[in-house]
Structure 1
Amino acid sequence: MPIYHVKHTTKYIYPSAVIDSANQIILSPPSDNYQEIISHEIRIKPSAIVDSYFDYFGNKVGVFTIVEPHTDLVIVVDAEVETKPVPVPSDFWSAKSQWENIDKTSLEVDFLDFVKFGSYQSLKEIRSVIAPIANREKTVLQCVQSLSAYVYEQITYQQGVTDVETDIDKIWELKAGVCQDFAHLLLEMLRISAIPARYISGYICPMGNELRGIGATHAWVEAYIPDYGWLGIDPTNNCLVSDRHIRIAFGRNFNDCTPVKGTYKGSSAHTLSVAV
């Protein structure tokens, strides 16, 4: 089983000194059935004490404050992670029984956050696209894979045309973006189809053939498959999640999993660089 060493550096540079910097970080991968955290360390410059808690979804959240004046903020994560093979679900149950299961599951409290979809101008058009691709004559797994393939084929991977605030209407208009945009669009298409889906933040690790999303934090989707559970699917690369993916956090969307966010007093101008 592969063991990966991850070094994730986030650096903010300010044109003049800022003070009272209060920050929240979600940068701690959990150990679960498919990954084991061998070591994990977070270093911050200027030095700060990080307090931690677990949020509503069970993600580990760190918070810290830097009161004194500073012109840069550097957050470095060093982690060693062993990943394990992820089994592919068997698809032998009938489509009818799977959809009956989905309809019941979607009403359960634990799934309500993951079946709600937004209201936006392109909703009608997106529905019309979904109809022939993901209908109830197919199994849930077939629908998930078909929708992921559609996003992969129709959206151009292009950096710099979107940001973390870009909404579904803009992604649909541009037909371009990065991993978080691919994930957000697939999330909405799955939820419109009544399939519970959640946003995943993490890393994708290089191993021979290069995949999109290497060198930065990555994002993908987990869809609920009856009699299997949550299945990771990566629409940016049109593949099921494997032992090359390391999960950090999950939520309804990017906002629930933002790696670093915060406030400070000082100039709003800053330069951000991220390297993984």
Structure 2
Amino acid sequence: MAVFNIVHITKYQYNWPIKESINEIRLFPHNFENQDVLQFQLSITKNPEVAISMDYHGNRVGNFNIMEAHSEMIVETNLLVRTTHSQKIPEIDNVKVADLLTKLENDIYLLRLSHPETITKQIEIIKILEEIDYCDKSIIEIAQQCNEYVFTNFTYTKGITNIETTVDEILEHRKGVCQDFALVLLQLLRTAGIPSRYVSGYICPNESGLRGEGATHAWVEIYSPIQGWLGIDPTNNIWTMDNHVKLSVGLNFTECTPIKGTFKGLAKTTLSVSVSIGYEDGRHFEEVNDVQLQDVSVEFQKELDDAEQQQQ
């Protein structure tokens, strides 16, 4: 068991004032069997009213608007959470893909999560599955071996991918971060016929030196009819444990994006994310990352350049 105080600050800055910012957030942590949310606070620039709803996956979603002009938007959450799922290999579970067929026929949610994305390099995914000889193995064995394959054959490298990077691109350069590793693992597991979903959350630092610690993190959950949803982390080649804190789940990253939105205005946007983690014993860890955003179109970049020249 572990208790963490997590402060997550997302800061958008614009070089010229923008207005009518419309946003959607998935920053509300889950209460589930092995995770208890003890306290939660949310604060947003201009204190807009936040409308809360539930999405298809059971995530709490917040929607808010900031209509007046602003040059900065800060979204801050303060979370006190207790986790109780100590690191362990799942219990003996001999369920095979063939055993899931009846369950999938009667559960449209699981059926949707068992279909892989349509990609150009799907033959590479199939070759990987053949390499680990996945046929006739239990879903637990398949998950562990796919997890190990991604961990071993993909290099953890920051700064070469962004939120728009595709599975095809990741397979080509075989480098990336936790989000990329999770997407490849999802493609492998779903191709094998195992219902799997993307998980967004945090991995809190400890003395083990896990990759991705102290920042927003991503991993995968597989479904077992015997044990339910089981988390597995390809970035670190482990099953989830006490220092994994879950925020949201979805088909892919797009359905778990912590914050997304749009605005009116002509401005360059910069985004930084800070995650601060405090422990019961008084220890403290903080990491700040500048996020690489999607490239703007050539036409929009020209408009930005023209606007800057007019201001000189």
TM-score band by shorter chain is over 0.9
Match of 2:123 in 1: 124
Q: Contact between 2:97 and 2:193, CA under 8 Å: does it hold in 1?
A: no
Over 3 Å counting, the alpha-carbon distance change for 1:78 and 1:134 in structure 2 is farther
- Post-superposition shift, 1:191? 0.4
User: CA–CA distance in 1 between the matches of 2:110 and 2:132?
Assistant: 23
- Post-superposition shift, 1:88? 3.9
User: CA–CA distance in 2 between the matches of 1:80 and 1:130?
Assistant: 40
User: CA–CA distance in 1 between the matches of 2:192 and 2:93?
Assistant: 21
SS, match of residue 96 in structure 2:
helix
Match of 2:206 in 1: 207
Match of 1:98 in 2: 96
Q: Contact between 1:21 and 1:264, CA under 8 Å: does it hold in 2?
A: yes
1:115-167 residue CA offsets vs partner (Å, 9 max, x unmatched): 11122221012201211314223221111000000000111111111111111
Alignment of 1:189-208 (within 5 A): 189-208=188-207
Match of 1:77 in 2: 77
User: CA–CA distance in 2 between the matches of 1:74 and 1:117?
Assistant: 36
- Post-superposition shift, 1:98? 2.7
- Post-superposition shift, 1:41? 0.4
User: CA–CA distance in 2 between the matches of 1:195 and 1:133?
Assistant: 15
- Post-superposition shift, 1:99? 3.0
Match of 2:13 in 1: 13
Q: Contact between 1:134 and 1:193, CA under 8 Å: does it hold in 2?
A: no
SS, match of residue 6 in structure 1:
strand
- Post-superposition shift, 1:18? 0.4
Point out 4+ residue stretches in structure 1 off by more than 6 angstroms: none
Alignment of 1:166-185 (within 5 A): 166-185=165-184
- Post-superposition shift, 1:89? 2.5
User: CA–CA distance in 1 between the matches of 2:97 and 2:59?
Assistant: 30
Q: Contact between 1:2 and 1:243, CA under 8 Å: does it hold in 2?
A: yes
Aligned-residue sequence identity (percent) comes to 39
Match of 1:89 in 2: 90
- Post-superposition shift, 1:249? 0.7
1:3-36 residue CA offsets vs partner (Å, 9 max, x unmatched): 0000000000100110000110000002110110
Over 3 Å counting, the alpha-carbon distance change for 1:202 and 1:92 in structure 2 is closer
Over 3 Å counting, the alpha-carbon distance change for 1:190 and 1:92 in structure 2 is closer
> What runs of 5+ residues in structure 2 fail to find an aligned partner?
276-312
Q: Contact between 2:93 and 2:138, CA under 8 Å: does it hold in 1?
A: no
Q: Confirm or deny that 1:250 pairs with 2:249.
A: yes
Q: Max radius of gyration: which structure?
A: 2
Match of 2:185 in 1: 186
So what's the TM-score if we normalise by structure 2? Answer: 0.84
Alignment of 1:53-68 (within 5 A): 53-68=53-68
Letter matched to residue 218 of structure 2: A
- Post-superposition shift, 1:46? 2.6
> What runs of 5+ residues in structure 1 fail to find an aligned partner?
none
So what's the TM-score if we normalise by structure 1? Answer: 0.95
